[in-house]
Structure formats: structure tokens, C-alpha cells
Structure 1
Amino acid sequence: MAARTHSVGVLVFDGMKMLDLSGPAEVFSEANRYGAHYRLSVVSVGGQAVHTSIGLRVPADGDARAGTAYDTVLVVGGDVLPESPVDPGLSAAARALADRAGRVASVCTGAFVLGAAGLLEGKRATTHWQHTTALARRCPSTRVEPDAIFVKDGTTYTSAGVTAGIDLALALVEHDHGPDLARQVARALVVHMQRAGGQSQFSASLQGPAPQTPVLRMVQDAVQADPTADHSLDALAARVRVSPRHLTRMFRAELDTTPGRYVELIRFDLAKALLDAGHNATQAAALSGFPSYESLRRAFARHLGLSPTRYQHRFATTTPASRDREKPGVKVPQEAEGEGT
């Protein structure tokens, strides 16, 4: 049987981010090639064409105030939204569209429009990590989750920075048509489907302040260039011609970590990417520089509360599973781990 037509109304405005529109639109369009039937309409207040943040003109299919009902309403973001109050006409249009829709979603700073429309009251939400504090300040009853790719609360979805709109759209497709079709879309667009809503917006190795000291920048560059090399404390100290004790003090003072823990984070990020690409846990450990599978398992337990294979299986879907975390230190049998998919 042919899929039922699912109408998506995308609310745009002057200064919007182009990728907030084009990313999800490509996902829905690609899904139609595999049996879905999404119909996209671009709407604006007054039905006028809008100009994006890169200067391109985007025509509108209709007026957001026309009373049309959509199955999904998607609100794009823009740099202006966190910097100034949301235009009352825009927030009123978002509210009216949401009242007639089956579900409402925002990409990046589009969450500020939902917040201004009262659509996030008492709910969980996220936005671009640079603006989560501002969103929490404007929406005091909203529980803002600064480290999520996207958040689903009932029929309301919010997502993080621009490319997270693609993750969000894949999640909506999976909800509508199942993981198999969503995976086909992800493969066709050459994007990962593994970034579930519960995953971090940015890699662990990129969190925290950037080093100011040239010596630390040299160490970071060396580790990132070849994570599998010998990066013991003595080897790193010799590379930059300081004592191991002095290098450790510098790491603690500037980065609030140790050289060993920093190396582990870089290797951990690489191991996750290898698992996402289909390598099993034993292969990921060897290719990312971990001395053994067991050391990789311990790193995953520390940073995610999951074993490597459990991570690989869980994030083969877009569905968050944060309530089902494996307890750190609980070991999955090694023979099962080595057989990762």
C-alpha cells in the first residue's frame, strides 16, 4: 500500500539559516524515494519570500496564517533569534500552526520561536550549545538539555545546531516508517544514523577550554595527528622538552585534566567513529590506539556507561535510550564484544 501523504509545513523568516531548511528537506525528499510520501510547504508570515543568512532568497508557498493544517510543523533557526526578542507575528504564527499540527519541531535556534509561542512550557528542550543558557533564561519553566543532539517531549521536538536538523529529520522518518527506511535515507545521503538524541552535541575531546600555551598546543596537535602512536607521559614530555611533572601541571592548570586522560579522549572519539563505520570492538580498539579491548571497554564505561558493542547496537537507531544505561564497571562478555556488527 502507498504511504499516506504526510504534510510538513516549514516556517521561515528573514535571516534564517539555509541549512536548517535544506538539511531536513533533503531527508524528507530522499525518504520519498523509498516509499514515504512527505509533502513540504514553505510558509512565512504574510506569505512573502524571505532572505537567508547567506543572502539567498527563498520563496514561500503560502502564508503561515492561512489556517492550513500540517501533520508536522518545522520551525527553522537564525542568528537573530537568541540576540533579540522574537517578533510577535512570528511566534503567533508558530503557535497557530502548532495548534493544528500533529507534532511540532524546531531546528537549532528555532527553539526560541517555540519558546516565545509558549510551546516549551514545562517541557524538555535543546538548541545550539552556544545558546542553551539564553534559552533557559527566556523559558524558565523549560528544562534545557545543553548536551543533546535533539530532544523529544511528547509531540514537541527540538534539535541542536544546524546539522542536528538532519538527525532530527531522520528520527521523524524513523518514527513514521521504521529504522530500515531511515537507514536507507542515511546511507543515500552519506550521513550517520548513529547520532541518537541522547548523544553529545560535540565530541568529548573538544569540550573544555582551548590551551593557550604553545607547548600544550604542540601536544594536542601530535596526539590528534596520530592517536595510535606512543603517547605515554614520558614520550609526550620528551617531545616538547619539558619534564613529565611539569607537563602534568600544565595540563591540570589549563585543561583541568591529565595528559593520559586527554590521549584517552582522542582515542575514544576515534573508536566511536570506527564503531559507527562498522568495525567490531576489537578492531576499533586496535585501530584507535587502545592497548587492548579491555582498555577500550573501560573507557566506554567511564564516558558513556556503555560497553562498545552496546553503544554500536543502541546507536544503530535514532531513538534515545538514556534511561537504560549500562552501569559503569559491569562487563559484557568479551567474546560477545569482539563480534560487534
Structure 2
Amino acid sequence: MQDAHSVFLAPWKQGANMMNDARTLYEHAGLFDVVQPGDKVAVKLHVGELGNPNYVRPFFLKQIVDEVKARGGKPFLTDTCTYYPLLRNNAVDHMETAVANGFGFAPFMVADGLTSENGITVESPDPLLPDVEVAGALHQADAMIVVSHLKGHPLGGFGGAIKNLGMGGVTKKSKLDQHRLLDLVIDQEACQGCGTCVDACWFNLPRIEDGCAVIDSPWCMRCPICSTACPEGAITLQNREKLPQGLAVAAKAVLNTFAPDKVAYVNFAMDISTVCDCAPSPGEIMSQNVGVFASTSALSIDAAGLASIDYQKLNSLHSQDCHGQVRKMAELQTPGSLEPKVITV
């Protein structure tokens, strides 16, 4: 098992066989040291929303699954139901999406159940979130390999290993709890009562009363759709820095259900888009492919990934501080470093 301050990088090489380079990377990083014979190994991924082409290529996941099997482990691909109502909102649609996107080569288990009913409440590592419901299948797994696509995110600034665990490793309840760390504010003087927000909302939650928008439902997830759609700029999301912090708190709660030496990470800094893989429409590709990172620390691997891209562009685009996640992880005394040692293989 490698030191948590170290991050290994297989740089992107035009014309190279990146699967061979990835295999070498995993050997140097000791990625599969987390696997013991008989272990039920969760390979945590994001299968991508149907129509979005930027998720991690399935053949890279098959390579990881095959190596887990070679070590005597019992791997299964896994993710959780989304809160928003697209094609990963329930286990049936999610599993069909996984197959459509090329992940039918291994068992795929929706970790929080058919409609996100399978969650286990664990003690929160920070008062920012009163409790965290960890997806049942992750809680029960013996080991975990977290495979993430490095990209931008409208609320978190960016998505990597921390977001993959913090938002992707919990139930819908805890997803909502994290989003509602933000405050939604409506400027009643600016609002014209046009109803654009009503039409835009996936949940049909806004309403118009006395010529002004009202959004007061406890089920509002504070997504940016209504604020982005408003032609008057009357709807704003405030205290945005709290969501990245919540991601870190939830991620640490998920990790606390595993022994320290039973989790490893791979981040693919390829097809780096300005927005996430959660919507059918892909975002702008913002940089050249960097390569593949591997580590035993969520903190270190995300810090190294941010250092390899123009995170200032994401900060500006999303009105966010991308380093909010990693700083909070460091504050939670997560093993790793904000300035990891990157070793090129």
C-alpha cells in the first residue's frame, strides 16, 4: 500500500495504448492491494447520463474488474440513484442506462436500492450535515475502488473522487441535504412573475403568487436550473461555498464505513468538460487530455487533478472555489495532502 501523500500519473500520450499505461500505473500505485481473496469489491463509478459521451470509457473499467477477479475478489460496478428525474433516478432506468453506455460486462448494482430506500445512517464527521445515509451496498462492501472522471460541476466547481463519494455514495435524502446547504433567494422587485422558472423546473415546484415567483418546497434541491433560466436574474443561489464542504463531509462519512487500507482511487483526467456527466448534453471540452491518476487518498488525487487543469476557469464559470472540497477533506483529517507528491510512471 502506497503512502497517501503520493499520487501516480500515467500521462496521456497521443498514439499510445493507454490500457497498457494504465496497467503499469496500477502496479506502481498498488491499486489492487486493497483486494483480498473473497472480498466483495465495489467499483464505484458514474455511468454517465444517456446521451453524454464524456464518461470514463467502459474498457478501462473492464480492465479494473478483471484485475480484481485475478486477485480473488468479487467485483461489482455500482452507483446510486439520482435525485433529479432523468434516466438514473431509479434502479431500473439506471441499470438500463449502464448497459446502454457499455457497462454490461459485469454485475451492476444500484447501491441504494430500487428508489433509494437502501441507506444506512452513519454518524456525521462534521456538524455541517446532521447525519449521512450511506448507500447500503457500499456500506456492506469489503473494499472499494473509486473510479472518477475529472470535470467541472455547476455547484461543486468540479467533480472528482470526493464528489463521486460524497454525492454518488449516499441516498437521495443525503443528496438533498447537501444541496439544501445552499440558500435560494428571490428578488421580489426584480421578479416579473413571467413563469419561466415554473416551466424550467424538473419538479414543477415554483409557483406564481401575486405576480411573483415563490419557491418554498422542502423538496427543492437548489439546483441552478431556475436561476439560470430566469430572464431577470431574480433568482440566486447563495452560500455556494457550503455545498463543496458538504461533499467532503458526506465523502468522509462513506469512507468511515471502510477500513483505511480498503479503498483506492483512479481519476481519469480525459475529455475534461466544463460541466458534469449528469446531463445528456455534454459541456465544452476545456483542456487537452492530461492522463490517468491513481492513489490511495481521495484528498491527494483530487488535489493533484486540480493542479493539472485550469481550475480558475471553472471557478469563474461556476462562481465557486474548486479547492473548497479538498480543503474541507483536509480539515476532516483525511489521509492525504493538499500538495501531494505526483510520480509520473
Fold agreement, TM-score > 0.5: no
Of Structure 1 and Structure 2, the greater strand share is in: 2
Higher relative CO (Cα under 8 Å, sequence separation at least 6) belongs to 2
Of Structure 1 and Structure 2, the greater helix share is in: 1
Taking structure 2 as the reference length, what is the TM-score of the superposition?
0.30
